Amino acid sequence: MEKEIVRSCADCAGKGCQNQTGENRPPFCLTENMDQAVKQAAMAEYKDPVNQKIMTTAADVEFDGYCQWPRIQEIVEFARRMGFHKLGIATCVGLMKETRIAAKILRSHGFEVVAVGCKAGAVLKTDVGIDERCAAIGTNMCNPILQAKLLNEAGTELNIVVGLCVGHDSLFYKYSDAIVTTLVTKDRVTGHNPVAALYTAESYYGRLFGKGQAE
């Protein structure tokens, strides 16, 4: 028996949540059917002064640079308007060239930059229970928790992720004291442009779909 698909925003083409009229909202629309207590609890969080400043600053940056500024410029503007001085970069060591350029740009705008590479600490993968076969692509482990703790110790106010692996980035986000934004999402196959695989998933990358693909 085929498992029933639970429909959500991924299944909606109407984008009815972008208007106040309720037009183009399917029967499963989350806006129409959500628990109002959950919505109210979420909205209450925006009353927190820090959250409100982040949201209003992000909106200003989006408006001023919409379809004009590349992401590194958006980060510069966001950090500047938030009043941040010390920025952290959690980087994959395979993207150190990109990190050096990013740091140079950030420093040119007066920011202090502290970068920590993923291999900092030089810990063997096997020391944390990683299968020794994984050492074939490098003996030392990526250490996102240590990256976060070192940046926490440095007192960074905004941390920027540059190419951390899937899962490693999750641990970095979890342990970072400062808020985090992502500059580069690693995807070695597509030149760090992961959306390319989505654009071609129904042609060249059709193999990405499982045997029980949903419509």
| 5-19, 61-75, 104-118, 148-162: the lowest-pLDDT one | 5-19
Mean predicted confidence (pLDDT) in 193-212: 90
pLDDT tens, position by position, 130-145: 999 999 999 999 999 9
Helices (H), the chain: 30-33, 36-45, 49-65, 71-82, 96-108, 144-154, 168-175, 195-199
Q: Residue 159: which H helix or E strand, with range? A: strand 158-162
Contacts of 193 (CB under 8 A, 6+ apart): 187
Task: Determine the pLDDT at residue 213.
Answer: 59
Mean predicted confidence (pLDDT) in 79-96: 98
Task: Determine the pLDDT at residue 1.
Answer: 59
DSSP state of 112: E
Task: Determine the pLDDT at residue 52.
Answer: 98
In whole numbers, what is the pLDDT of the chain averaged over residues?
A: 95
Is pLDDT above 90 for 79?
Answer: yes
Task: Determine the pLDDT at residue 22.
Answer: 87
Class of domain 48-208: alpha beta
CA distances from 130 to 46, 115, 212 (A): 40, 25, 31
Is pLDDT above 70 for 188?
Answer: yes
- Global pTM reads 0.93
Task: Determine the pLDDT at residue 13.
Answer: 86
Is pLDDT above 70 for 110?
Answer: yes
Per-domain boundaries in the chain? 1-34, 48-208
Contact 116, 88 (CB under 8 A): yes
Is pLDDT above 90 for 51?
Answer: yes
Closest CA to 81 of 157, 141, 146, 143: 157
Is pLDDT above 70 for 212?
Answer: no
For residue 162, count other CB atoms closer than 10 A to its CB. Answer: 24
Is pLDDT above 60 for 23?
Answer: yes
Is pLDDT above 60 for 27?
Answer: yes
User: b or e along 20-39 (b: 16 or more beta carbons within 10 Å of the residue's beta carbon)?
Assistant: eeeeebeeebeeeeeeeeee
Mean predicted confidence (pLDDT) in 98-102: 98
Instruction: Supply the angle between the helices 49-65 and 71-82 in degrees, to the nearest 10.
Output: 140
pLDDT tens, position by position, 153-177: 999 999 999 999 999 999 999 999 9
